[in-house]
Amino acid sequence: MSVPQFSTRIMNTSGNVIREVLKLAEQSHIISFAGGFPSPNSFPVTQVNEIINELLQKSGPEILQYGSSEGFPAFREYLAAWLTGQGITATPDEVLITSGAQQVIDYMAKAFLNPGDGVIVENPTYLAALNVFKSYEAEIIPINGDANGVNLVELEKAAASGKAKMVYLVPTFANPTGVTTPVESRKKIVEILDKYGLIMLEDDPYSRLRYSGNPLPAVKSFDKTGNVVYTSSFSKLISPGMRVGYVTARHDILRKLVLGKQCTDVHTNNIGQRVVFEFCRRGILEPHIEKIIAQYKKQRDLMLDMCKQHLPAETTWNVPEGGLFLWLTLPGGINTTDLLPIAIEREKVAFIPGKPFFADGSGENSMRLNFSNASPEGIAEGMKRLGGVIKEILKNK
Ligand SMILES: Cc1ncc(COP(=O)(O)O)c(C=O)c1O
């Protein structure tokens, strides 16, 4: 058998470590803090069932047919008004419905990046975005961040270098660090984009999951030139299995994203779009979000308590105001990639090692813990096991 000649782009793309780990963590006896999964208890199964039945009865042939690439028109109208209400001025034809926010990252890369083009990202950042940029043979330019988000001096320096074409940021409850960029920095980011003529993708799947503090305006809300493209998703609010997200962008950019979509999947699943639209239109979404916020806040607080109780001294972690993750830095040179198989096989507890989130290959002693997917009992037990194995390794070092 001859060896297949794979493309450079796919050879550049490392397997998504999260998905590989999830295969192990999916076993029912494993307590998983690994994926960014919403709680299975949060899924509105009854309401989705009712809506689907009604939709099939009233509009069956229509929703089982092909639809337009841009998305269901009434849903685009709804989202444009909803975004405008949040300070992100958008017309319906500046909104594209997508199969999740992940697809928007791909379309942005497809629309803007030639091999070797630079993408500025925060170090660390969402690892599946790094994989997309690598798959388009982009040069990733990592810049450091801290508790206030991306370092603006480094951002300006990277922008001024002339190597970058695009900036990718998760300014609210970042994955993996949970950090939120303050308002003043958001304004400054837009100034830098405009000064150097850069496009930015603002990836915002988590901002509605806020447990404390006040909501902040999106970076996009300060954008006067259309250099910021904004994406969000219903994955963490209703269901990731539905695969419904959206993007709003300046008209010329949106047209290119639509071309990308036509090559990939023609249009977003009609049933998913229509269910999510009904969820919004009927006023079910807001009370549903309130319910999951109350649940996740408890789970976040419990996991924070468990960190205090079980993790060795000198471990540090963030207290995120929202989102789904705690971000830990371990003491004593513990390598979390080496720790993972021991934690899974021996302690039956899973997490995501920090290293793959770092474009510069650092972060060996960090880890991301998800607090939304495990039950309260699972959080208490899993953190006890995790703390135990970390302490044991430290003792034997
Ligand atoms: C920062 C970030 N962007 C995008 C996504 C993809 O979400 P979706 O399910 O909408 O594709 C995720 C999912 O975890 C995420 O954390």
Distance 98 CA to ligand 1 centre (A): 12
Q: Among 98-102, 148-152, 198-202, 331-335, whose mean pLDDT is lowest?
A: 331-335
The pLDDT value given to residue 14: 72
The pLDDT value given to residue 231: 98
Please state the domain extents for the chain. 8-43+289-395, 45-281
Q: Collapsing DSSP states into helix, strand and coil, what is residue 291?
A: helix
The pLDDT value given to residue 19: 63
38 lines ligand 1 (CB under 6 A): no
| Mutational test site, ligand 1, from 233, 237, 371, max ligand atoms within 8 Å of CB | 233
Residue 52 neighbours by CB under 8 Å, 6+ apart: 271, 275
pLDDT per residue as tens digits for the range 240-285? 999 999 999 999 999 999 999 999 999 999 999 999 999 999 999 9
In b/e form, how buried is each residue of 60-69, taking b as 16+ CB within 10 angstroms?
A: eeebeeebeb
Q: Which helix (H) or strand (E) holds 97?
A: strand 95-98
**Whole-structure pTM value:** 0.96
Give bridge partners of residue 139 from the DSSP assignment: 118
Distance 61 CA to ligand 1 centre (A): 31
Distance in angstroms (rounded) separating the CA atoms of residues 130 and 114: 15
268 lines ligand 1 (CB under 6 A): no
According to CATH, the topology of domain 45-281 is Aspartate Aminotransferase; domain 2 (3.40.640)
322 lines ligand 1 (CB under 6 A): no
The pLDDT value given to residue 187: 98
| Mutational test site, ligand 1, from 172, 203, 207, max ligand atoms within 8 Å of CB | 203
Per the prediction, the chain carries an average pLDDT of 94
Give me the percent of the chain exceeding a pLDDT of 70: 98
pLDDT per residue as tens digits for the range 3-60? 788 888 888 777 655 566 667 777 778 999 998 999 999 999 999 999 999 999 999 9
Distance 97 CA to ligand 1 centre (A): 15
The pLDDT value given to residue 13: 78
- Does the pLDDT at position 330 exceed 90? yes
- Does the pLDDT at position 2 exceed 90? no
The pLDDT value given to residue 15: 65
Residue 332 neighbours by CB under 8 Å, 6+ apart: 312, 314, 394, 397
What value does the mean pLDDT take over residues 206-222?
A: 97
pLDDT per residue as tens digits for the range 156-169? 999 999 999 999 99
Extract the tokens encoding 135: 């798959």
Distance 273 CA to ligand 1 centre (A): 17
Extract the tokens encoding 19: 């998905």
Write the class of the CATH domain 8-43+289-395. alpha beta
The pLDDT value given to residue 20: 66
Distance 242 CA to ligand 1 centre (A): 13
Asked if 238 and 288 touch (Cβ cutoff 8 Å), the reply is yes
Distance in angstroms (rounded) separating the CA atoms of residues 114 and 177: 29
235 lines ligand 1 (CB under 6 A): yes
pLDDT per residue as tens digits for the range 277-315? 999 999 999 999 999 999 999 999 999 999 999 999 999
What value does the mean pLDDT take over residues 206-219?
A: 97
